[in-house]
Structure 1
Amino acid sequence: MNYIKRLELFILQWCIALTVLAQITVFPWPAHLTEKKEIFILTPNINIKGNGEYADKLAQDLCQDLKNLSFLNIKIPEKRSIEFRLNTQSDFEKEAYSLKIDTEKILLEASSKEGLFYAKETLWQMIKQRKGKLAVCHIKDYPQYQWRGFMLDESRHFFGKEKVKQYLDLMASLKLNVFHWHLTDETGWRIEIKRYPKLTTEGSIGNWHNPQAPAKYYTQKDIREIVAYAADRNIMVIPEFDMPGHATAVCRAYPEVSGGGEGRWKHFTFHPCKEETFRFISNVLDELIDLFPSPYIHIGGDEVHFGNQSWFTDPNIQRFIKENNLINETGLEHYFIRRVVDIVASKGKTAIGWDEIVDAGVSPSKVIVMWWRHDRKYQLLKALEYGYRVIMTPRRPFYGDFIQYASHKIGRQWSGYNTLETVYDYPSSINYLMRGYEKQVMGMQFSMWTERIANEKRLDFMTFPRLIALAEAAWTLETRKECTSFLQRLPIFLQWLDEKGIYYFNPFQPSSTPEPDAPDKEDVLKNG
């Protein structure tokens, strides 16, 4: 670089230094951050390189991203560089990374693909926020929890693969790494299963507010495309095949495996005794496992009592309970869960179930528990004492269908509602329960149930900005979390949502983002 160009760059650096200092804003907040007064100015012709296959790919991705930035307009002869360095022999933890920015070079280092990817996401946030004028700094970062999840229910309302991809992009930026996909329930079955075509021709008809809505579902080609898209962003996709309850869509299509039920709960459960039921489940699982390479399959296991009325009166079911010494209908439910968990294990996968599964007598080596019933802290403690690994997604504060502001009229409540702050501060209120069991707590998940979410605008409104808070709560060390700091940084991410056309709830100006209508405009459901 010649003398005149160096002088111009030096003057420019000092002119903008005061506006950049103390302005590093990234999500989630990192474990360690040190910064200096100097500035690194990004230019469109900077040398970007990697040290191998995956590092080279990330370097190429960043090059492509930079081409779309209009603010990179300072052209100088370049000897500076951005380097991606993947070193599997280094002592970084699996998802940890280092991002070092000095005046001449940016170095991103990790021992895993995940870590190097997160280093790139952090750098990309800084580039967008400061328009390429980066404070010299060193970030050393790693997550608090290994499971940082978002669940989307598309049984009640279907949103389609482009919306799912948009959310996967946002999850990647927030370093969320699990997409729990709730694709089967009462309302509709949303996955093509070639062995059982009626699951989609009949089971996918309808949605929560219109039982005659046209069939909507994902083809197996769609599923593979989305799973690959997620994997490219280091996100694992976990399918949920809900059973023995919440099986209405399945049993409507194939009544031969139905366990009965009455009124609105007709066909709610699988038949718990027929061998045909378990063959059906095994066959469906074979296709799911082929579609989803993750080591986990979510099998539900919750709220069976809503629709098991026929179990009490069916003579074959009652005889089965007696002959197998199952005591009662709850014992039969637990028998069903144990059999399905064994089927999943026989296929080389680990089952995940809602917290009712703790009482089924399943080996902790075969199942992971999702604790969802916030009012039953004893169920969380029981799971930990029994040796289960646990993922925390309690209704309060991690269910996205709960209202988030006092004046909102559509959604759920339970002795309160789920504000941005309560999401961010979790799990400080229950840390005492987990003391001594920290290694069994895999992480946290924000779960979006969609009974009253029929369109993308309302989905965005109920998801953001609470998902941003969950991401930081799950990634950032407790000693580094500070809600005031988070709220000060939050407008930056909201600006990025604006650029993507996402309609979020603005906690700083609530009246500026009116609550979108739900399908039937019904009032808040209390303790529902």
Structure 2
Amino acid sequence: MNKILLILFFIGNILNTTIIRGQNTCPLIPYPQSSSRINETFQLSSRCVIVYTEEFESQAYLLQKELLRYTSIAVSTLPDKATLDSNIVYNVIKLKKDYKFKSEGYSLKMHTKDITITAGQPSGMINGVMSLVQLTRLSTLQNTLVPIECWEIEDSPLYAWRGFMLDEARHFWGMKKVKQILNWMALYKLNRFHWHLTDSQGWRIEIKKYPKLALIGGIGNYGEEYTPAQFYTQEEIKEIVTYALERNIHIIPEIDMPGHASAASKAYPEFSGGGSPKYPGYTFNPGKDSVYTYLTDILKEVDALFPSQVIHLGGDEVHYGNQDWNTNKDIQDLMKHEKMKNLKDVENYFFQRMADSLLLIHNKVAAWDEVADSQLSPEHTIVFFWRQNRPEQLQKSLDRKFNIVLCPRLPMYLDYAQDTLQVHGVDWRKFSCNSYQKVYSFSPQDIPVKYPKNCNILGIQANLWTERIETEDRLDYMLFPRIAALAENAWTKEMNKNINSFNIRLKKQFDLYKKDHIYYSDPFTPKETGEPVR
């Protein structure tokens, strides 16, 4: 009997310790670098006021809007130079500046009557604001107020580049869906939205000088060739860019070239370099000077819409559809004149000229890892390493001192199945699964290369291609909750990461997904969240 009581005593202690640890674990995703629970509760109500220093006025307004959106509680804002009415008792949220915090770092100190968010730059203040917003959303509305557990947090990111790519060329999603994704990116402190706007199946951005690109190139999608044209007007692009920047998200547009150009070729066939039987009209024509003028004019308009000063030029998979280059007179003449040995030389020549065009309008060049073989300027080029089966491309990029974003297909392609129960889309038996655990645990050290000291790894990114994604339900299912795993991997230092802690915190996010009408995949009970067919 005594032995049984002793065993029960030990089990009780273990369970109690687990509960206490769980209560003392900050619920945020991504997990902060330093956090401690304060045994107090802040009451968010309409009697709260956000007091801000002059440089953080925009962030005060953002916090005010987000609190209203998610709690229906309208708080007021006030510059710090103004005076609060002494006859009213307020709970105060202070936004303060301290230069000790680098660009994206912040601190969050919470007490019963006041909260102070401190940062050195607007980007850091936005991160602090989003931590408070997430803590608020994880709390329960009680009548007209939200009691929020108090925390003391000091935080900064692991990587400067924390990216997500959405393919809208294969299937178009529209402004409402893009803004919803941007909201979740901001909540999870992801700060780069790589927007794949052109490909063989569709051209999704209005170009004033060449209107047929959108009007004709925008017709169809991956599965249906003749759906009505879908694209973003330049005014819509501006609205989305402003919305993203307000949330510390820089948008990197992708205008794919010289391959993946079939949609553009339908609109302006005079600039096409042909293709192959399987991929007709697949390329632009590197042998025509008029093509470089045409594409430079396009990039100038794109540059005017996107202040990030980085444009992604694609550069991948040109060999899929460049067979016509072997017989194209313009290209053959170019090869003779420039003494080129093969079509890869033509490809590199084209890319160098387009990179020069971007440099002249003060933009950096972003491209897939095929450009590691080029002679582009490392200082002005960002290589996106995607072919994990070609580690030599990463090694070349490292050796040449390119800036690098890591987004290897395994595990960073989110169109790949997330578990072996999935039966639609990319066949996991052929390409493996990209589970949320694999996304969470990915490390640069997983790739068999030699990293030099002070290498230019900017960060990591996940890519969601949409050839096999036709509906918003399936888009959600493939993105959530892996976007949360991506965010913690990109933000949280390795010593602070713990998959068991993440699992506990992730389950708390599911209620937030439901409230936002997100059709998410539940990895803990996968049979209960049916996989959308399309």
TM-score normalised over the length of structure 1: 0.90
CA deviation map 1:469-499 (0-9, x unaligned): 1011101111111111111110111210100
Distance 1:435 1:410, change over 3 A: same
Q: State how far apart, in whole Å, the 2-side matches of 1:204 and 1:71 are.
A: 39
CA contact 1:191–1:220 (8 Å) conserved in 2? yes
- Counterpart of 1:108 in structure 2 is 117
Alpha-carbon contact 2:206-2:231 (below 8 Å) kept: yes
Which one of 512, 515, 526 corresponds to residue 510 of structure 1? 526
Q: Secondary structure at the match of 2:199?
A: coil
**Per the alignment, do residues 367 and 458 of structure 1 end up closer, same or farther by CA in structure 2, a change over 3 Å counting?**
same
Give the structure 2 partner of residue 141 of structure 1. Answer: 155
Q: Secondary structure at the match of 2:132?
A: helix
> Does residue 259 of structure 2 align to residue 245 of structure 1?
yes
From 3, 26, 34, the equivalent of 1:24 is 26
Q: Structure 1 residue 199: deviation in Å?
A: 0.7
- The match for 1:339 is 353
Which residue is equivalent to 1:184? 198
In structure 2, distance between residues paired with 1:454 and 1:161: 16
Residue 146 and residue 67 in structure 1: after superposition, are their counterparts in 2 closer, same or farther (change >3 A)? closer
CA distance in 1 between partners of 2:68 and 2:231 (Å): 36
In the alignment, what sits opposite 1:374?
388
Aligned to 1:41: 43
Q: How big is the shift at 1:22?
A: 1.9
Structure 1 counterpart of 2:60, which letter? A
SS at match of 1:259: strand
Sort the Cα spacing of 1:22 and 1:279 in 2 relative to 1 into closer, same or farther, 3 A: same
Distance 1:387 1:58 in 2: 36
- TM-aligned CA distance change 1:64 to 1:194, over 3 Å: closer
Give the corresponding residue for 2:457: 441
Cross-structure match for 1:205 = 219
- What is the aligned partner in structure 2 of residue 323 from structure 1? 337
Picking from 258, 269, 279, the partner of 2:293 is 279
Alignment check: 8 A CA contact 1:20 1:130 kept: no
SS at match of 1:264: coil
**What CA distance in whole angstroms lies between the structure 1 residues aligned with 2:466 and 2:526?**
22
Deviates more, 1:310-319 or 1:507-516: 310-319
Cα pair distance change 1:438/1:492, threshold 3 Å:
farther
Between 1:19-28 and 1:174-183, the stretch displaced more is: 19-28
Q: CA–CA distance in 1 between the matches of 2:225 and 2:386?
A: 27
SS in 1 for 2:117: strand
Residues 71 and 137, structure 2, Cα contact 8 Å, conserved in 1: no
Instruction: Tell me, in whole angstroms, the C-alpha distance in 2 between the residues paired with 1:130 and 1:273.
Output: 61
Cα offset for 1:61?
3.9
- Structure 1 residue identity aligned to 2:31: W
Distance 2:467 2:238 in 1: 26
> In the alignment, is the contact (CA less than 8 A) between 1:420 and 1:469 conserved in 2?
yes
Pick from 46, 62, 86 the counterpart of residue 97 of structure 2: 86
SS at match of 1:48: strand
Tell me what 1:96 maps to.
105
The CA deviation at 1:99 is: 0.3
When residues 283 and 436 of structure 1 are mapped into structure 2, their CA distance, relative to the original with a 3 A threshold, is same
1:356/1:49 CA distance change after superposition, 3 Å = same
Query: In structure 2, what is the equivalent of residue 12 of structure 1?
Result: none
In the TM superposition, residue 184 of structure 1 has moved relative to its aligned partner by 0.4
8 Å Cα contact 1:52/1:86 also seen in 2: no
**Aligned pair 1:393/2:407, yes or no?**
yes
Q: Distance in 1 between matches of 2:265 and 2:20?
A: 65
- Relative to structure 1, the CA distance from residue 20 to residue 402 in structure 2 (aligned partners, 3 Å threshold; closer, same or farther) is closer
Matched residue, 2:9:
none
Cα separation, 2, equivalents of 1:155 and 1:394: 21
In structure 1, give the amino acid aligned to 2:97.
L
String of CA shifts for 1:193-220, please: whole Å, max 9, x gaps. 1111111221111110000111111111
TM-superposed CA distance for 1:51, in Å, is 1.7
The aligned counterpart of 1:130 is: 139
Partner letter of residue 96 of structure 1?
Answer: G
Residues 499, 437 of structure 1: alpha-carbon distance in 2 compared, 3 angstrom cutoff: farther
User: Which runs of 5 or more residues in structure 2 are unaligned?
Assistant: 1-18, 75-86, 141-145
Q: Distance in 1 between matches of 2:103 and 2:62?
A: 22
Q: Return closer, same or farther for 1:20/1:317 CA change in 2, 3 Å cut-off.
A: closer
Q: Distance in 2 between matches of 1:205 and 1:278?
A: 24
1:172 is matched with which residue?
A: 186
Structure 1 residue 476 corresponds to structure 2 residue 492: yes
- The Cα of 1:72 is off from its aligned counterpart by 7.6
Counterpart position of 1:52: 54
TM-score, scaled to structure 2: 0.89
When residues 437 and 270 of structure 1 are mapped into structure 2, their CA distance, relative to the original with a 3 A threshold, is farther
1:263 is paired with a residue whose SS is coil
Are the structure 2 counterparts of residues 322 and 141 from structure 1 closer, same or farther at C-alpha, using a change threshold of 3 Å? same
What residue number does 2:434 align with?
A: 418
Measured after TM superposition, the shift of residue 438 of structure 1 is 5.0
User: How big is the shift at 1:57?
Assistant: 3.7
* Letter matched to residue 63 of structure 2: L
Question: Which residue is 2:372 aligned to?
Answer: 358
Match of 1:256 among 270, 273, 278: 270
- For residue 151 of structure 1, give the secondary structure of its aligned residue in structure 2: strand
Q: Is the 8 A contact 1:20 1:134 kept in 2?
A: no
2:189 is paired with a residue of what secondary structure? coil
Q: For 2:313, which of 299, 315, 323 is the aligned residue? A: 299
Relative to structure 1, the CA distance from residue 121 to residue 93 in structure 2 (aligned partners, 3 Å threshold; closer, same or farther) is same
In 1, are the aligned partners of 2:108 and 2:154 still within 8 Å (CA)? yes
Deviation at 1:137, TM superposition (A): 2.7
CA–CA distance in 2 between the matches of 1:468 and 1:416? 21
| Gap change, CA 1:66 and 1:440, over 3 Å in 2 | closer
How far apart, CA to CA, are the structure 1 residues paired with 2:204 and 2:417? Answer: 27
2:464 aligned partner, one-letter code: M
Deviations 1:20-68 (A, max 9, x none): 94253111100111223333333431332112242x3433443454456
CA-atom RMSD, angstroms?
Answer: 2.2
321-330 or 502-511: which moved more? Answer: 321-330
Compared CA separation, residues 342 and 512, structure 1 to 2 (3 A): same
- Deviation string 1:299-342 (CA, Å, 9 cap, x unpaired) is 00000000000112224322321221221111111111111111
2:63 is aligned to: 62
Letter in 1 for 2:425: G
What's the CA shift string for 1:334-365, capped at 9, x where partnerless?
Answer: 11111111111011100100000010111202
Q: 2:491, 2:363 → 1: CA distance?
A: 26
